[in-house]
Structure 1
């Protein structure tokens, strides 16, 4: 009997170390950043069982077998569709600005499509104005409405949007609603999903969260896009979830969320519709055939039109596309670079690119919220301040609420706005979308918005920063240790 238990004990010990060795080899074989690999290895060696469970559930990009198969089928179809647009030269600008050319060329080569001209574009800085405009457009829709949001939080004007959507569906407008399971968990606990489905709206819960799925799909992979498409002509995207800030996260004590949205009219809506069809196919297995590109349905150049490039990321889309686009934009800066982001945990490459831009003489400013809704992110982001400040980057902390806007402005000519935070999750993992606008007038409009943010912010003084207490430095480094996982 003693021999039996001894044998079992040795087999368990051997199995344990084989498991540790196997996970270690898997981490080393996967091509990932050194800080990320070292973080996972340290977690696994310090907390072996918890570390292994965490790595199996969060360490690799598992979309799930069915969704992964759909994603592999989806992109070749989308690539062919994009290629058909090349037969419509009237959609493309003759020339991009010097600052925009590298980014547009990158996207044309990697995703098969560049900027599309002939669009009307409105920048909306007020959540109230965004919701009023959206309600108006939904009520006037005549053919179809597609929406995707990370968060739909009931209450206030969000309920008015829901009522307008139900009303449109009842009069024959085909409506589809794709909501992230984790972000919209409160919505799915209300009566709204059943009310919408009873009205004929296709309501889909994207990437459902369940303990039973934890080892089969990565649970922190989220559908983070925010898009509205109406009649294949009107489109919205930006940083705002479908929430009324007066009713959203009131107990966090960070103030109301401040967002930035774009409302567009023109052929760019059709391009965004293709991205939506990809998301819908990955989640449901059903293919939504977008409008066939045709000169008869495309929109021609108008006065004050805008050239807009859409970049999408996530499983099934070109890998690291948005991260590469942001790097290209930062390296293209010659005079001025302004970044707004609610979460500042950049990759090493992006951190170095921003610092190098400042060393090159570019006037670099980063605007972040003074108070964050995430304690982990708040402390982890501080670990990057010293290197940024030492390179001459100005860091502003916004005091007028939780600044949730995501924007990059390069030389007041090239603008990037969308859903992407400057953190690992947005840059490498989630389904995200970014608009790139090559237009000086729009750049000046965005600059005024950013200047308004700065007027409500406090500038971090480097002399004051280097004198912060020792315990704060320890907390910053501790949370920085986990930054590749945030």
Structure 2
């Protein structure tokens, strides 16, 4: 019998609801009618059963488990978040357009055989080329002439000179843009001059990446007042019917002039402090590395730009590109280069598969220079596996990344890497080493826009160049030597002595890496 002093005892339904429903509801339901509690109970159980069969589909097990744990323990937050950003693929419309482009490219280049130079390479390297061809559709070509631009100002000076020389068209794509009088401003001036003299200037920029920059509205007004054809890529338009995950971004950096000259690499179209007052106060600059090119690689970069233009604007500019596939096929000498596009428009993680393949094929040394290293299990095993089999593996990262969560997530991997024999060097703060390249042995390298993190593998549209050329590797080694001269080595003993609070933050932030 109920004790009047304690009040009426709760019904069996209310007792069950307290044990099951509280995570989803987030509020007390004791006062709800019993019939309503049963409805919520059915929904609660139904949601849990549904997510068990939905979330693991086509996801890494670690990613699926992270989402499931979040939804089971903090569903009121995690479930809406999953519905908002739980899929890492572009819309079906964009994926269909990318597939059409890949099929057309494969058909147009299906007659191209491996060059004699490539046939002299090892069987494993030829396998890497075939992997890239099947995933990203681009063949490999020799006849490319490449040059590194290691100083921040060099890339902007090159862009101004190249755009001022344009006769037919200029194609520009950047993740981040910001106007200023000394760096990006002169590039915008050159684009405006080119457009005014009748050159077709097409400009793409990532909406989310650029809209966060101070002065964005002023830049938009400048572009609208010019003859530059410009579009925001993957625009955030919550009121539009066409919706995709908010953090799917176009992270590529490409400049092509008349189909003859091109630039790609790590830099954005912005001054070296990235318009951040805190960076100006601390003296922090972003350290970049870019490559400028002529030869068949320009065709590949131009096609990547054209595919982004097509998916964003529905305008097919393929026939207006300065492309001569026969000339590309006949090119000889110079560097062997293959363009490798990647991103959520592709069914596979093209850049991750390339990096892993190269790591497993390395014989003597591997150098990884990246601002963000948050690997998935496959990349982590590839890096540590190379070190365990006697390959000299060197990792060069920033002492302090510009994003706190990524900084701590990255640090959570250092102990395991050091234990495996990976040598870690940290570029001194306050600067951010933003260069992105990997060297394999003495004749192979990759360079481009891709970081070594799961965002670049799954969420960002990236472009990477695979280069087979000992002379280019030697050029990059010279830049690397400059970085290493000022960097500080990190030892296992030193790292194990870090404060407990830092270790705790590292491990907590590592959990967020799984929510992709």
Equivalent in the alignment of 2:51:
23
Q: 5 Å matches for 1:71-82?
A: 71-82=95-106
SS at match of 1:49: helix
Tell me, in whole angstroms, the C-alpha distance in 2 between the residues paired with 1:173 and 1:299.
28
Partner of 1:382: 411
Alignment partner, residue 235 of structure 2: 208
Q: 1:127 maps to what in 2? A: 152
Mapped pair 1:366 → 2:361: no
Give the corresponding residue for 1:309: 338
Aligned to 1:434: 464
State the Cα distance separating 1:108 from its structure 2 match: 2.4
Equivalent residue runs for 1:292-371 within 5 Å = 294=324, 298=328, 301=331, 305-371=334-400
Whether 1:55 and 2:82 are equivalent positions in the alignment is yes
What residue is the counterpart of 1:193 in the other structure? 220
Q: Is the 8 A contact 1:93 1:115 kept in 2?
A: no
Q: In the alignment, is the contact (CA less than 8 A) between 1:412 and 1:447 conserved in 2?
A: no
> What pairs up with 1:41-190 in 2 under 5 angstroms?
41-64=68-91, 68-87=92-111, 93-95=117-119, 97-98=121-122, 100-155=125-180, 156-185=182-211, 186=213, 189-190=216-217
Q: Deviations over 1:358-382 (max 9, x none)?
A: 1111110000001111110111111
- Between 4-13 and 305-314, report the one with greater CA deviation: 4-13
More moved, 78-87 vs 115-124 = 78-87
The worse-fitting range, judged by mean Cα deviation, of 96-105 and 251-260 is: 96-105
Tell me how far 1:4 sits from its aligned partner.
9.4
* CA RMSD of superposed structures (Å): 2.4
- Once residues 90 and 51 of structure 1 are traced to their aligned partners in structure 2, the CA distance between those partners, rounded to angstroms, is 49
Question: CA shift at 1:250, angstroms?
Answer: 4.1
> Which residue of the partner structure matches residue 422 of structure 1?
452
Gap regions ≥5 residues in structure 2: 1-29
Q: Does 1:473 align with 2:473?
A: no
In the aligned structure 1, how far is the partner of 2:75 from the partner of 2:241?
Answer: 18
**CA-to-aligned-CA distance 1:237-280 (integer Å, 9 cap, x gap):** 00101112156324144710001101011121112111111111
Shift of 1:213: 6.4
Structure-1 separation of matches of 2:325 and 2:139: 18
Structure 1 residues 3 and 157: CA distance shift in structure 2, 3 A: closer
> Residues 452 and 213 of structure 1: is their aligned pair in 2 closer, same or farther, counting only changes over 3 Å?
farther
Partner of residue 484, structure 2: 454
SS where residue 208 of structure 2 aligns?
Answer: coil
3-state SS of the aligned residue for 2:245? coil
Residue 256 of structure 2: aligned partner: 229
Q: Which moved more, 1:105-114 or 1:329-338?
A: 105-114
Match of 1:249 in 2: 276
Q: Deviations over 1:16-58 (max 9, x none)?
A: 3322332332113x12222211111111122111100111112
* CA displacement at 1:471 relative to structure 2: 2.7
Question: Matched residues in 2 for 1:438 and 1:117: separation?
Answer: 9
Unaligned runs of 5+ in 1: none
2:494 corresponds to: 464
- Secondary structure of 2:353's counterpart equals helix
- C-alpha distance in structure 1 between counterparts of 2:393 and 2:465, whole Å: 21
Partner of 2:512: 482
Q: How many residues of Structure 1 are paired with residues of Structure 2 in the alignment?
A: 480
Question: TM-score, normalized by length of structure 1?
Answer: 0.92
Q: 1:89-135: per-residue Cα shift (whole Å, max 9, x none)? A: 59774535336333212112333333111111111111101100110
Conserved 8 A contact 1:414-1:438: yes
Q: Deviations over 1:55-82 (max 9, x none)?
A: 1112212423xxx224313423432233
- Identify if the C-alpha distance between structure 1 residues 250 and 397 changes in structure 2 by more than 3 Å, giving closer, same or farther: farther
Q: Distance in 2 between matches of 1:13 and 1:215?
A: 33
The answer for the alignment partner of 2:308 in structure 1 is 279
Q: 1:431 to 1:92 in 2, by over 3 A?
A: farther
1: CA distance, partners of 2:373 / 2:322: 40
Q: Distance between the aligned counterparts of 1:120 and 1:250, measured in 2?
A: 39
Secondary structure at the aligned position of 2:463 is classed as strand
- Do 1:254 and 1:372's aligned partners in 2 also have CA atoms closer than 8 Å? no
1:31 is paired with a residue whose SS is coil
Which structure has the bigger radius of gyration? 2
Q: Distance in 1 between matches of 2:390 and 2:509?
A: 31
Q: TM-score, normalised by structure 2?
A: 0.87
SS where residue 396 of structure 2 aligns? strand
